[in-house]
Amino acid sequence: MPAKFKMSKKGVGQLLRSRMIQADMLHRAERIEDLAALIAPVGGPSDPHAGRYKASFRVTTTTRGGRRKDRATATVSNIAYYARWVEYGTERVPAHHVMLRAAQAGGG
């Protein structure tokens, strides 16, 4: 006789908000943060912001994340004011896609 499974939406919700899932999300985010810092551009010796972007990665975590605020999440961000220009580029500076490449390589 095959086993039967009846899903409990409340139970799945509790699992998605659990400390276990939050710890796993944090672990993945920290791996992405480490990789992003490793591949981040630093700038030249005449750059007044040399190393600031590399040192500005942060990880935050919560058990009330996601679109519906119903699951554990972890977020990697960069607090340097020019982080979006490093990621996406400008008309004069090519895009580096640091966060994209780190997430693709280090999240799994």
Return the beta strands (E) in 13-103 as ranges. 57-65, 71-78
Q: Are 43 and 30 in contact (CB under 8 A)?
A: no
Residues belonging to the chain? 108
Residue 3 within any structural domain of the chain: no
Terminal-to-terminal C-alpha distance of the chain: 36
> Considering the domain boundaries, does residue 1 fall inside one?
no
Please check whether residue 84 lies inside any domain of the structure.
yes
Q: Is the pLDDT of residue 107 over 70?
A: no
13: helix, coil or strand? Answer: helix
User: 54: domain range?
Assistant: 9-106
Rg for the chain (alpha carbons), in Å?
Answer: 19
Residue-wise pLDDT for 4-52, tens only, equals: 989 999 999 999 999 999 999 999 999 999 999 999 998 777 777 778 9
Number of domains in the chain: 1
Look up the pTM and report it: 0.84
